[in-house]
Chains A and B, each alone.
Chain A
């Protein structure tokens, strides 16, 4: 009788340990996914900063009369690259997008620039990079949702917080990013 009870107890303990290990590993995997997808956003943001000087170099000679269009972009870029709070970051990102949009709008008025392959290629690269930024944010949010749900569900909810697993924050589009960008032709 005693041995049967012992065997049953051992089996229960072993099952619980295996369960705990797999839950723990699931938490670690999700946390890494969240971190990795957060880095991906930065990678794409940086890619956009890197693209801009090349774009400006390629179209510089067409924009002699529109110097302020170019300086706007340069300023917005360097401002966006400053370390700042997420709210401010979103605002300066939106300013940068607006300034670049302005350049393409102005380019519409120049027939030889409109058919310039450098500009067309850059337009594709830039809009793709903007897509990548938003897809990276979307994937980050997906990962956060998966991770947070895991933390808040049984059985992880019992020990997750005491072992240092805390919910991550969602990326939320800030006010200015959602506003439509006003394009001025001056």
Chain B
């Protein structure tokens, strides 16, 4: 591979780190504004509205820290994944080890999700605290080369710090939805209290405007957050495919794997909209049909396979003398 490729590898990490910081800053700014607006709408006073701001910041920070340090465990628990050792699935373990060596990364924890639908994901906050998980269906249906391609794709997410960024985005979406929900529900049940105060202040027009702004924000913010989650995870899949080929020098393995996974009709029951963007292939099948649309977490799989086949045909895939399970 050429030097440009190596350069972009590191650049991607730097860019992901910078974007992570920007994301946190934007999130805090949004929480501040949103909290203040809600506080004003609720309490009807510019100083007392700071309570709303403080509450939103505290909730946002606590929720954020908890998810940053425990988010991977949460995702794994939600997916009903169990940790395995070398003895449980030697081939899977070996393939992961091979990819860590090719990428120069520490060994991640390996988990299995007992589900016959083939799929895989990676999570964690850094390569030192990373986890890769595959479904038992993936282990059954893929051969060694295909499994290697999938694990190379997942290790690329780890190496690029995509896992941290995806987790932060998940947290952002989650917290925004939580606060918006909290506010809208409060509006439903506790509307009388705000009205009473409004009467006492002698009809505060600004409070009514703030109330409207808060409602609009509470409805739009989760939508925007989700759109962001979708658009960034799409381009990341292409990058991870390319990096995977750089690691295995074998585009055929990943292309065959993607073909098998996308052709599989089974539905991954443990996946939901909060974890969908983590998987190698979108687990929510009805989305795949209109996957060119704005609301897909993944690029169309045909396009990914096409690109890999083109690399394969172009002869970029020089093997470095690796052996497969067949006898030499």
Contact = CB atoms under 8 A, between A and B. Distances in A.
Interface in B286-328: 320-325, 327-328
B119 to A, nearest CB: 23
A37 interface: yes
Contacts of A63: none
A105 B327 contact: yes
Given A124-B90, A173-B320, A143 B104 contact: yes
B6 interface: yes
Contacts of B324: 127
A132 B323 contact: no
A173 B104 contact: no
B225 interface: no
Interface residues of A, number: 37
Interface in A129-150: 130-132, 134-139, 142-143, 145-146, 149
B101 A40 contact: yes
A98 B328 CA distance: 8
Given A97-B328, A149-B3, A173-B320, A128 B98 contact: yes
A125 B325 contact: no
Contacts of A138: 102, 249, 320
A98 B98 CA distance: 22
B101 A177 contact: no
B328 A132 contact: no
B90 A137 contact: no
Interface residues of B, number: 24
A108 B102 CA distance: 32
A40 B91 CA distance: 20
B164 to A, nearest CB: 20
Nearest to B6: A146
Residue of A33, A37, A105, A145 contacting most chain B CB atoms (<10 Å): A145
Contacts of A11: none
Query: Chain A's interface: helix, strand, loop or mixed, by majority?
Result: helix
Interface in A99-122: 100-101, 104-105, 108, 121
A44 B101 contact: yes
B323 A145 contact: no
A124 B320 contact: no
Nearest to B95: A128
Contacts of A136: 101
Interface string B85-126: 000001100110111011110000000000000000000000
A145 B3 contact: yes
Nearest to B2: A145
B102 A135 contact: yes
A178 interface: yes
B97 A132 contact: yes
B59 to A, nearest CB: 39
A173 B94 contact: no
A142 B1 CA distance: 8
Given A124-B90, A125-B94, A142-B6, A135 B325 contact: no
A67 B86 CA distance: 32
Given A135-B99, A135-B102, A139-B104, 17 more contacts: A40-B101, A40-B104, A44-B101, A124-B325, A127-B325, A128-B95, A128-B98, A130-B323, A131-B94, A134-B321, A135-B101, A139-B101, A142-B104, A143-B104, A146-B6, A181-B328, A183-B328
Q: Which 6 pairs of residues, A with B, have the shortest CB-CB distance?
A: A128-B94, A101-B328, A135-B102, A104-B327, A135-B101, A134-B320
28 contacts: A40-B104, A44-B101, A98-B328, A100-B328, A104-B327, A104-B328, A105-B327, A124-B94, A125-B90, A127-B324, A127-B325, A128-B98, A130-B323, A131-B98, A131-B322, A134-B320, A135-B101, A135-B102, A136-B101, A137-B320, A138-B102, A139-B101, A139-B104, A142-B1, A145-B3, A146-B6, A149-B6, A173-B320
